[in-house]
Amino acid sequence: MRITFSAIPAFGHLNPMVPLAAAAAAAGHEVTFMASGSFEGRLPVPVVSGVPDGMTLHDLEQEALAGVRDPADPFAWPMAFFGIVTPRHIMPRLLEHWAQAGRPDLVVHDGANIGAARAADQVGVPAYGFHVALGPPEFFLGMLRKVVDVPDDPIIDPRPASWLDAAPPEQADHIPIRSVAWSGPGGAAVPWLEEAGDGRTAYLTLGTVAFGAVDVLRRSVLEVAAVCSRVLVAAGPEGDPGLLGELPEHVQVERYVDQGRVLDHVDVAVHHGGSGTTLNCLAAGVPQVITPQGADQFINAARVAELGLGQVVPNEAEPGTVGAAVERLLSDQDLLSQVQAVRDEIARMPHPSKVVQVLEARH
């Protein structure tokens, strides 16, 4: 089959889909990944720009911000960004590419990429939405349907059943997939992390687009460094590690790391609650301290705490709260057992190669 994968030009939307694209290519299918041209040469499959040349995520965000009429409405910006601005640029780009290169047999798009869903619907190609969030897709798509037509595509879903409030939908509309972490080339090598060490090892990040919260990250780093003997900090691809100032010697700061590999060697993670990082921690069996910064991170953080898989520390928490949360997590045997149970649950979910077989059988 000729398969087009398409993602909004953001790490959190692209990275979760790459293992499935790679598995499809390994099975002999002709795979093209349409994303930002900046990812060309960085994925294990061919990349074609899925947005106008030179357009960045920041450009799309600013265009959406300019169209928000009611800043007090928390849903105004997401509706503008996902429902209007990204389809405005992505849909014609995909249609143009298919007119030149030939129509695909199948489209797999990130679930927030409404432009790709609509493009596939317009040319009559079956499409699947890869759910890159941890909240219910019904809520997100229902919100967007207030401003734009959204095709009712089946969902490829990496969320484990224990995360859901109800049983997964019928198999015809819902394909479970095991979360396989992928960060791509460019991640810093952290050889000391894979060596045996005394004491606890912690990993801290505020994601790839949240480095504006410098004070929050620095405070968390210092508190974690007081209770852990080895600390790795990922400042983000566009972050300036120097802004964190002077840090203890046992703290190492990098811009970008191979998060999946890192999580195999740490005892605890302190992060922002982004869907990708949260799910990667669940898949690796790592307890989490979450300080949400925006978007759906508050929902993800609340669910982690509700399921007994970690703790939430808000930005305005008293000094010492992050360090104390790390101490509690690593001494709570019931919580650690629950974290391991979810890790094992995710490991039993279908590997991306098995999902490719499901798609082959259907199409």
Is the same domain home to 28 and 82?
yes
Enumerate the H helices of 124-250 as residue ranges. Answer: 137-144, 214-225
C-alpha 282/C-alpha 160 separation (Å) is: 9
Is the same domain home to 260 and 358?
no
Is the same domain home to 279 and 230?
yes
Is the same domain home to 97 and 197?
no
Find the domain containing 220 and state its range.
Answer: 191-331
Q: pLDDT value at position 245?
A: 77
Q: pLDDT value at position 253?
A: 85
**Element of type H or E holding 227:** none
Is the same domain home to 227 and 312?
yes
Residue 340 lies in a domain: no
Enumerate the H helices of 264-320 as residue ranges. Answer: 275-284, 297-306
Q: pLDDT value at position 187?
A: 58
Number of compact structural domains in the chain:
2
Q: pLDDT value at position 228?
A: 92
Residue 39 lies in a domain: yes
Residue 336 lies in a domain: no
Residue 265 lies in a domain: yes
Q: pLDDT value at position 211?
A: 44
Residue 177 lies in a domain: yes
Residue 338 lies in a domain: no
φ, ψ (nearest 5 deg) of residue 59: -60, -45
Is the same domain home to 173 and 195?
no
Is the same domain home to 49 and 93?
yes
Is the same domain home to 171 and 313?
no
Is the same domain home to 153 and 208?
no
- Residues with Cβ within 8 Å of residue 94, at least 6 apart in sequence: 4, 6, 34, 50, 115, 116, 119, 120
C-alpha 103/C-alpha 190 separation (Å) is: 42
Is the same domain home to 126 and 213?
no
Q: pLDDT value at position 30?
A: 97
Q: pLDDT value at position 303?
A: 94
CATH number assigned to the domain comprising residue 92: 3.40.50.2000
Residue 148 lies in a domain: yes
Segments of the chain scoring below 70 in pLDDT: 166-172, 183-189, 207-212, 237-240
Is the same domain home to 17 and 91?
yes
Residue 286 lies in a domain: yes
Burial of 331 (0-12, 13-18, 19+ CB in 10 A): exposed
Q: pLDDT value at position 26?
A: 97
Q: pLDDT value at position 144?
A: 83
pLDDT in tens, 205-240: 876 544 457 788 888 889 999 999 998 988 776 666
CA angle 44, 48, 53 (to 5 degrees): 135
Lookup: tokens for 50: 């899925």
Is the same domain home to 15 and 112?
yes
Q: SS3 for 253?
A: strand
